[in-house]
Amino acid sequence: MNYNEEKQALVNYGKKMSTEGLSSGTSGNLSIFNKESGLVFITPSGVDYQKTTSKDIVVMDLEGNIIDGDKKPSSEWHLHTLFYKNKPDARAVVHTHSVFCTTISALRMPIKPVHYVIADANSIEVPCAEYKRYGTEELAKAAVKAAGKSDAVLLANHGIVVCGKDISSAYSLAKEMEYVAEIQYRAMSIGKPILLTDDEMKEVAEGFKNYGQPKKEDK
């Protein structure tokens, strides 16, 4: 068993998460799910992201059984595996303690549609799960329940967790939600934000379907 691509991707994005300020110290965690093998690749617990190597990545199944690796998996492995069980399209999960998302979560309120990019979360707003202690199955259950159809959910007094079709999209979503949370925070500091309406957000979601470059037809 090798899976070097998945392991190296987690190493690379862990370093990005640290250097780009989405998590401080050894906080936060990332994983990739290979549906064909049923394996989850997850960052180790308490290891400096700048010192993490592919050998440190832990391989486990969806029940939390360690398949490969000599490190303890992230303490939030329940959070990752439960998202994969409940989000059929999810292939990567990113959990950060980014400052503005965590600030909003301390208010135990959702990230609201103050900016249209929130539509990338497949939701009009990003809900906030009720508080449960870090590293517990209870936290994972609360997060999945609160998320519903959203690909992002705040964890009360803790941070945010997002999922995506791959590690690149999941990481990008984590950054985008931090941006929207910062806009919300700054707007709230000087007044009452004017939120985009449901109809306006539906228009955004429709527009996102054709966003970017068209796919080339197979020849």
**Alpha-carbon distance 132 to 137, whole Å?**
9
Q: Which secondary-structure segment (H or E) carries 207?
A: helix 198-208
Burial environment of residue 58 by CB neighbours within 10 A (0 to 12, 13 to 18, 19 or more): buried
Token pair of 19 as six digits: 């250097």
Provide the annotated active-site residues: 76
For residues 129, 130, 131, 136, the Cα torsion angle rounded to the nearest 10 degrees is: -70
- Is-contact 143 153, C-beta < 8 A? yes
Cα→Cα distances 94→71, 129, 168, Å: 19, 16, 10
Q: Which secondary-structure segment (H or E) carries 104?
A: helix 99-106
Eight-class DSSP state of 49 = T
**Alpha-carbon distance 216 to 44, whole Å?**
39
**Alpha-carbon distance 44 to 200, whole Å?**
42
